[in-house]
């Protein structure tokens, strides 16, 4: 998600942008238009360009933010995306990009939303984070029946999530980008470092009857300048390596990903600052049976999205690719399951807040000469 900066536009960022922009500008929905990182060096870099398998219908009124994919019992792949401005979920055909349906209305009841943002699918559950209802809803697919709502008493301004299977239940991590109000210019005010200790909340979901019992396991966030999560949304985990990657979205500070442990400790490392030149956004993990794999991360250039891959274990930068059309990407989702259209899986990405695109994983892997990967 493109976000308001803290205080004002950073001098170094403005120095890069002045050749193409006279100043930072405000987007119609209150987020900052990505003043844009891609108009400078990011747009000029030589990275392999791969063709999108499809581009869905574009519906700017929806303000599409994040996708998640699910394989239905009949084998069809659904890509379910959050629509922030119309308070609903839009469902696309994962093979063609055609719009299948939409679900939800504006409101505070079950199956209703107020600015849905992050979404994840696990088993037959779609889990949705609502920023303006400051809560998480769990819906059961394929009919989107309401299962559970939780966290409204804890969350302030939640955005993203990651879900880990634990025994017969789930551990849900939710990012919370609360602020200290706005300054005279309408920009969010960054809380003091000591108050950034609740940037990620954890909840245990355990089967109970036809639903789940929820236990709040507390929140975490480093309070040092190096490890603090200034502006947070995207998060993903790798239990095999006791690792969380969390995107830092305060561009006035850095375009990077913070490395945390699953228990919530800052691991003393960041990645991407030397290669990511626009806002760090969506994060996914491709895992291989031998323990190798790649982190897939998003550089949200307004004019062009660049996807950066990092080695799963070492976190070394492996390479980057761009699509022929996709730009201004918020969320991504790796559907690492074979389908008739995408035998090696597909990477789905939001395109310019208006729809989604798909990339055949085989095409992406070939572009970067990645070694063969047997699914884990």
Which numeric CATH code is attached to 48-367?
2.120.10.30
Ranges of the chain whose pLDDT falls below 70: 1-44
* Per-residue H/E/C for the chain: CCCCCECCCCHHHHHHHCCCCCCCCECCCCCECCCCHHHCHHHHCCCCEECCCEECCCCCCCCEEEEEEEECCCCCEEEEEEECCCCEEEEEECCCCCEEEEECEECCCCCEECCEEEEEEECCEEEEEECCCCEEEEEECCCCEEEEEECCCCCCCEEEEEEEEECCEEEEEEEECCCCCECCCCCECCCCHHHCCCCEEEEEEEEECCEEEEEEEEEECECCCCCECCCEEEEEEEHHHCEEEEEECCCCCCCEEEEECCCCCEEEEEECCCCCCCEEEEEEEEEECCCCEEEEEEEECCCCEEEEEEECCCCCEEEEEEECCCCCCCCEEEECCCCCCCCCCEEEEEECCCEEEEEEHHHHHHHCCCCCCCEC
pLDDT of 376 reads 85
Residue 44: predicted pLDDT: 54
Kindly report, residue by residue over 119-167, the tens digit of the pLDDT: 999 999 999 999 999 999 999 999 999 999 999 999 999 999 999 999 9
Note the pLDDT tens digit of each residue in 34-74: 333 333 444 457 899 999 999 999 999 999 999 999 999 99
Domain boundaries, given as residue ranges, for the chain: 48-367
């Amino acid at each position: 998600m493109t976000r308001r900066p803290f205080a004002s536009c950073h001098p170094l960022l403005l120095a890069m942008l002045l050749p193409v922009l006279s100043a930072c500008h405000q987007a119609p929905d209150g987020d900052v238009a990505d003043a844009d990182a891609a108009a400078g060096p990011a747009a000029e870099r030589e990275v392999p360009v791969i063709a999108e398998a499809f581009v869905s219908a574009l519906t700017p009124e929806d303000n599409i933010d994040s996708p998640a994919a699910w394989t239905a019992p009949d084998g069809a792949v659904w890509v379910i995306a959050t629509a922030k401005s119309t308070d609903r979920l839009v469902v696309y055909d994962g093979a063609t990009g055609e719009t299948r349906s939409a679900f939800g209305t504006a409101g505070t009841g079950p199956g209703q939303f107020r600015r849905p943002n992050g979404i994840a699918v696990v088993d037959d559950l779609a889990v949705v984070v609502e920023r303006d209802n400051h809560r998480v809803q769990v819906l059961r697919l394929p009919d989107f029946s309401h299962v559970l709502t939780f966290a409204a008493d804890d969350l302030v301004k939640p955005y993203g999530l990651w879900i880990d299977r634990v025994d017969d239940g789930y551990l849900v991590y939710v990012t919370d980008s609360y602020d200290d109000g706005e300054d005279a210019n309408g920009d969010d005010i960054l809380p003091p470092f000591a108050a950034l200790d609740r940037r990620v909340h954890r909840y245990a979901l355990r089967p109970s009857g036809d639903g789940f019992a929820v236990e709040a396991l507390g929140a975490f966030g480093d309070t040092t300048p190096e490890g603090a999560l200034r502006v947070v949304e995207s998060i993903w985990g790798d239990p095999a390596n006791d690792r969380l990657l969390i995107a830092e979205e305060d561009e006035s500070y850095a375009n990077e990903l913070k490395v945390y442990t699953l228990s919530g400790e800052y691991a003393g490392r960041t990645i991407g600052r030397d290669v990511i030149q626009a806002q760090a956004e969506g994060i996914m993990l491709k895992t291989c049976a031998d323990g190798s794999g790649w982190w897939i991360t998003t550089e949200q250039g307004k004019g062009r999205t660049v996807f950066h891959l990092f080695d799963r274990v070492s976190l070394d930068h492996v390479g980057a690719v761009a699509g022929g059309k996709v730009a201004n990407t918020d969320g991504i989702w790796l559907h690492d399951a074979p389908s008739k259209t995408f035998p090696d899986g597909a990477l789905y990405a939001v395109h310019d807040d208006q729809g989604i695109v798909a990339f055949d994983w085989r095409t992406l892997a070939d572009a970067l000469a990645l070694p063969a990967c047997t699914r884990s």
